[in-house]
A and B are shown apart, each in its own frame.
Chain A
Amino acid sequence: MRDTIRFWLGDEYIVLHDVLPSVTALDWLRETRGRTGTKEGCNEGDCGACAIIIVRRNACAGHLSWNAVNACIQFLPMLDGAQIYTVEDLRDPSGVLHPVQCAMVNQHGSQCGFCTPGFVMSMVAFRKRVGSMIDQVTDADIDDALAGNLCRCTGYAPIVRAMRQALVAGPDRFDAEIKKIGERLTMMESGEGVSIATKNARLTIPASADELAVTLMADPASRIVAGATDVGLWVTKLGRTLPHVVFIGHIPELRKITVTEDGATIGAAVTWSEAEAPLCAVYPEMRDTLRRVAARPVRNSATLCGNIANGSPIGDGPPLLIAADAELILRRGDKKRRIPLEGFFIDYGVQDRASDEFIEAVFVPVPKAGTMFRGYKISKRFDQDISAVMAGFSLIISDGIIRKACLAFGGMASTPKRAAAAEAALTGNPWDAAALAAARDAISQDFAPLSDLRATSWYRLEVARNLLTRFYVETTGSDTAQVSVWSIHGEAVNV
């Protein structure tokens, strides 16, 4: 086992001893390294002022992936093995601005300037992702790329103009350094785990799933962290201390994505961004909904399985995956078990997972013939908002009769929950106006949701009913029926 954390920060190779598990990358960058270009706007991953770029080798394709993440909720050990860039690294060695920086100046994309470094980093990462597919970039793609960055001054218009300008600009300093960056990443690939114990806290980065299993058996009180987009806030906002953190974000077996004709298996360390493709391969209907989960910098770090594991009643993943009939693969020591995802959520804060057990993967089977599927997210703001109501709907229809109905909701109860009465009202009936009316009526038997800052109980019930109507119209209406303000322009997210 190694007892250091190591990564590249710009052109400097960093080796750290005695790292605390829950020091954030942002605090380290600003306070220890004096890189004050990276700003703290909210310290909870919601504003993007602290965005930095993490470069790693894509596990499947082998090329380099450039991801903007929020440094405020990245724990420093999570950077192990990566190439990191902050805004200070963007100018070329002669001092010439990066094409994104140049475009932002040209288009008057900064006013107060505080959010600007974060925007610039998200824009640089987007440029890398787009690569040569510039012609396919829609405004919706740009919105998606910038959804995790808040600006209070500009109204975003000049920033979008700058993004357009930067996309058609020439190469940047990194294009000439791809080989060098690749070599740096290779150099750090050792296949060994990391264990660092300081006086107050301990961290482990297991090298394999087996090592993870052993670590958890030995210390069931340890905290598993993958993307830290939830646990990060326990530290930055709730002031909690974490005595032993086990970082699983880069365990090879958990990074795996397998798509077969049976379905997609998505490992516990696969981020939301990475899970988009396999999920859409099985359920193309999920695409628009997945795009609304958090925002790009969060999806670049947060994992699909972490969203399940934390058991939140307002997580966006579970209702979609329950409706998709997903299964969870759990492991404890050498023992694996496979359970329907729905059964994982026992009660508020209680899940079917022993403290020394971990989620290895989630399996999403291909839909059965005759399946109609939709996912809907309703929140105050389009992007980067926690749902007031989240819904995953699936009907299996044969010979004109609904054989199986799964109506899964988030935000309606203390766990992600299916609407049993509404499902019963549909099952065995044709998918027609009468069935819809019966299902709508049954919703109030299924749920008595809370009123909180996001919505009242009235709104949640009304929207749950109305989403059934939207589902009905979308799956039975004519092609021209318009049932969402988001689909009016048919703008696709292509990149």
Chain B
Amino acid sequence: MSESDSAFDLGAGMVGLSTEVIDGTTAEATALDSRTASHDGTLKLVEGSASQSQRHESSILHVSGGAAYIDDLPEPKGLLHLVPGLSTKAHARILAMDMEAVRAAPGVVLVLTAEDIPGHNDVSPVGKHDEPLLAEDIVSYYGQMIFAVVAETRAQARAAVRLAKIEYEDLPAILDIAQSRAAGSPLVWRSLTMSRGDAEAALSRAPRRISGSLSVGGQEHFYLEGQAAMAVPGEEGEMRIWSSTQHPTETQLMVTHVLNCPGALVTVEVRRMGGGFGGKETQANGPACLAALAASLTGQATKLRLDRDDDMVITGKRHDFVIDYDVGFDDDGRIYAVDMVLAARCGWSADLSGPVTDRALFHADNAYYYPTVRLRSEPLKTNTQSNTAYRGFGGPQGIVGAERLIEEIAYATGLDPLDVRLRNTYETGTPRDLTPYHMNVEDSIAADIMKTLAEDCDYKDRRKAIRAFNGKSHFIRRGIALLPVKFGIAFTATHYNQAGALVHIYTDGSVQVNHGGCEMGQGLHTKMVQIVMREFALEADRVRITATNTGKVPNTSATAASSGADLNGMAVLDAVRKIKTRLVIFAAEHWSIPQEQISFTPEGVLAGKILIPFPDLIKAAYFARISLSSNGFYKTPKIHWNPDTGRGRPFLYFAYGASCSEVAVDTLTGEMRIERVDILHDAGQSLNPAIDIGQVEGAFVQGAGWLTTEELVWDASGRLRTHAPSTYKIPGCSDRPRIFNVRLLDNAPNQEETIFRSKAVGEPPFVHGLSVLHAISDALASLDDYHTCPRLDAPATPETILRCASRLRAEASGRAAAGTA
């Protein structure tokens, strides 16, 4: 297994990461934690095992081109290629489909339409039956899959798909939130209300009150590996599918719907994805189902790999929101009451829009206590791509709403927004710890983190210096903002909070580990290996992770909601400890040593004073007929949630953090540059500080991209015009902050019993990007001498920034004119 480690001089474990960013975990802290968290009192940890930095398990393959993604897998003999044909209307009735030329094109084997589906033409992941795999008589968005060409080569399929002639009769299309509201079009999911107290009454009683509206744009996932799947038919209706999916079990289920076959015949496997970010939670199902359908009908292996443009046109994205808000507060910046309506463009089908808009509400408080509150969601149906999961899952949009409230209050009162934040933060153990969904925040550290970060990055002095600079600089304005994040960890669909694992030890003492989570770059597999390393005190080259496969661990949850390591880590630990217990009992008997005196150390298994090499123990256990394989299972404790009452404890705990961004804005062109970013993030007792810091850095840049350069543009016909990297601009290397300091919170074990007291780290740091939007806003506010809340919407493209600048300049000259009059 060791990928030429001999030729690669890394040394195991704590490699390379520059010291200024790694001081989150020390060996000492790890050992201390181990005493409390590890049931057998193991003190010595193998280097690079859980709670220490360790390189990504595939990193050597990544850098040398050897890591295989779906399109890189060996191709079965006679492999066919599938390319979907797409709607060119946003909403229309299909009058006629002429596929003659398509069928006659070179290499074409089969043209698939809805009629060819033997089972149900339905891939709704939430059982709403509102999402046909291939359109039947109505198309509901520009880009919807209507048919598919199966050909001998991909180039032939791509060429043939252009030859289809489809006649449409236009139907009225509803493209955005405003049109959807104006037309009174239906919701794709029930609206959720969370409330505490009488918001209207409290608002009218508040000393001061501001209402307004904001819009925040959507976001394309732009996973570098596009959607891809390969299906290989087997005996008696068996179907094996390799899919770039975050949710193999759901992909399996959808294939059974489409093929009308039992789940036991379908196996879905994914070794790794080239990025997911939520975009392969449900959106991978369509491609996998089409590949399986073609494979089933032709009896030949079939592969589908979407062209980037098709991928962006077909698949759903992050929901854009319009948030209407009304906030009551006093002159000290204390919030009295909040009323918000969060409306989302959901697209043509429900997909995950229900839970996404729910999670927006769950985070519309960010880290702040609202004494009286009402929050409502509006999941609006539109004739656009069906928006879906994207890192944060609506949470970041809700937090955008919360932080606008803070900004409004700060400009209204003249307070530093940071002071407004600190005055409204949840206070655990006081009456000010109750969320809008009636869960007590038992672990609030948001205020402490903000204060520590403000101190560390010299926020107050820099803010003063920036204001002085702005007083002298005519065109270039600088801004700074420091924001917290509090992010709820658990699937709000309670049943999703379960996981399985499967661990085998072979007679040479090498270990194979498998679990229900998927690797998409986040380092989940690395962490799972590290857990096994830590428990058995084995080096990395003795533990092999294998591809996620529905045949190994069934009925898995999506690798989503930041839950991958939390859920699967505990399941892996469960499996490992079951085997470990058997081994301890066996060793105690075999060597006549009390069980308490048996421990797993890097040197070997210590039974009293006898040191037994791990492989020797395993061999002895095998001959004694001890089972060396076990599954593992975990379900998250304590959580419950009732959407009908809007009450419950949907989250096991919260992950926290704070970020401070400083930007420079060119008020002549609207161009912006991120000058400096400081982040302090709470990963609990991190499972792997190097990987977690990577998650924070990457999430920040992705979050900043969402709120600045990443703009989705549809034209009046509903056609997405930003459908490739030439037109849709994710951050590039030079967009990263000039100075970028990321630190994990020290000595911060999770107070809940999570895997080695770590905290989930996938989504929460995405929110840090919001400090960039607020820093831009702070820079622009200088144009009107900080009198007016800039109400800067997102994405803050150069054009949006320039528009805001000219509005604020107009305010300023209006004020000057009034002053002289």
Contact = CB atoms under 8 A, between A and B. Distances in A.
Contact of B7 (A97, A149, A152): A97
A101 B308 contact: no
Contacts, number: 288
A455 B713 CA distance: 10
B673 A378 contact: no
A105 B7 contact: no
A485 interface: yes
Interface string A365-396: 00000000000001111111110100000000
Given A112-B520, A453-B721, A483 B671 contact: no
Contacts of A453: 711, 713, 721-722, 727
Contact of B734 (A101, A380, A382): A382
A455 B709 CA distance: 12
Interface stretch (A153-161, A242-250, A251-259): A153-161
B62 A110 contact: yes
A462 B806 contact: yes
Interface stretch (B10-18, B29-37, B206-214): B10-18
A158 B224 contact: no
B56 A111 contact: yes
Interface in A437-495: 452-456, 458-459, 462-463, 466-467, 469-470, 473, 482-486, 488-489
Contacts of A35: 65
B673 A49 contact: no
B225 interface: yes
Mostly helix, strand, loop or mixed at chain A's interface?
loop
Given A39-B225, A239-B159, A46 B709 contact: no
B88 to A, nearest CB: 15
B66 interface: yes
Given A112-B272, A237-B309, A86 B798 contact: no
A429 interface: no
Q: Interface centre among B65, B72, B709, by most A CB within 10 Å?
A: B65
Interface stretch (B553-561, B653-661, B694-702): B694-702
B697 A158 contact: yes
A96 interface: yes
Nearest to A376: B669
A103 to B, nearest CB: 8
A117 interface: yes
A154 B694 contact: yes
Contacts of B724: 42, 44, 46, 237
B59 A114 contact: no
Q: Interface centre among B18, B277, B694, by most A CB within 10 Å?
A: B694
B475 A473 contact: yes
A382 B65 contact: no
Given A110-B59, A150-B725, A239-B162, A37 B64 contact: yes
A42 B713 contact: no
A70 to B, nearest CB: 11
B475 A483 contact: yes
B491 interface: no
A455 B727 CA distance: 11
Contact of A149 (B700, B713, B733): B733
Contacts of B520: 112
Given A102-B8, A156-B701, A488 B673 contact: yes
B767 to A, nearest CB: 14
B227 to A, nearest CB: 13
Nearest to B523: A111
Interface string B339-368: 000000000000000000000000000000
A157 B696 CA distance: 11
Contacts of B162: 239
Q: Interface centre among B61, B693, B729, B731, by most A CB within 10 Å?
A: B729
B135 interface: no
B726 interface: yes
Interface string B637-672: 000000000000000000000000000111011111
B496 interface: no
A323 interface: no
B58 interface: yes
A422 interface: no
A30 B274 CA distance: 17
Given A96-B7, A97-B7, 16 more contacts: A37-B66, A39-B225, A43-B307, A46-B725, A47-B224, A102-B8, A112-B520, A113-B59, A117-B64, A120-B63, A154-B701, A155-B740, A156-B732, A239-B158, A378-B671, A484-B476
29 contacts: A27-B155, A41-B226, A41-B725, A86-B65, A96-B7, A97-B7, A102-B8, A105-B10, A108-B59, A109-B63, A110-B63, A111-B56, A112-B273, A115-B224, A143-B732, A150-B730, A152-B223, A152-B277, A155-B699, A155-B702, A155-B736, A157-B740, A295-B732, A378-B671, A378-B798, A379-B798, A452-B721, A453-B727, A486-B671
